[in-house]
Structures are given as structure tokens and as C-alpha cells.
Amino acid sequence: MTQDSIIRLQGVQKSFGAVKVLDGVTFDVQRGQVAVIIGRSGSGKSTALRCIDRLERIDAGEITVCGHRLSDPALDLRTLRQDVGIVF
């Protein structure tokens, strides 16, 4: 993650039962950058966003948002959500 990265997903995996929704997703969003997640219905867009706000836990990989490492057991979700918001 560079100093200007605001969001970083590295090798993120998420499954619901036998259905693998996210399979090794990796990307960075830099401070000031506009990013778009597009894809067909069921491709994992909403799941990726829900993972970024820790509404869903990932199975593997790492997500860092605004300096918050989402896999940190001491993560304060209230503090995270003061920095991260999602509108569906």
C-alpha cells in the first residue's frame, strides 16, 4: 500500500457456502482517485463493498481502509464506520 492509498484489497476471498463470490480480489484506491466497481449481476460487487465496510467478514486476504486493518481483532467498528460509508 502506498502512502496515498485509502483502500487496499489484497488477495481477498469470500464464499457463501460452496459459492465463491470473491476469488483473490486485489486493488488499491489512491487518495483523491475515483474508482468504480462494475460487473454483471452476482459478480460480487456488493459483497466487495460490504467487506470494505466490514459488514461481511472475508475468508482470506487482507483489507485496509483509511489505515484500519480489517482483520485486526482489536478493530473498533464504530471508529471504522466514522471513516467509511456506503450508499447502495
What predicted TM-score, i.e. pTM, was given to this entire model?
0.88
Q: What does the pLDDT read at residue 2?
A: 53
Q: How big is the chain, counted in residues?
A: 88
Bridge partners (DSSP) listed for residue 27: 9
Per-residue pLDDT of the chain (88 residues; tens, 9 = 90+): 456 799 999 999 999 999 999 999 999 999 999 999 999 999 999 999 999 999 999 999 999 999 999 999 999 999 998 888 887 7
What ranges do the domains of the chain cover? 5-83
Pick the CATH number of 5-83 from 3.30.70.260, 3.40.50.2300, 3.30.70.920, 3.40.50.300: 3.40.50.300
Measured between alpha carbons, how far is 76 from 11 in angstroms, rounded to an integer? 23
B/e letters for 7-43, b = 16+ CB within 10 Å, e = fewer, are: bbbeebebeeeeeebbeebeebbeeeeeeeeeeeeee
Q: What does the pLDDT read at residue 3?
A: 64
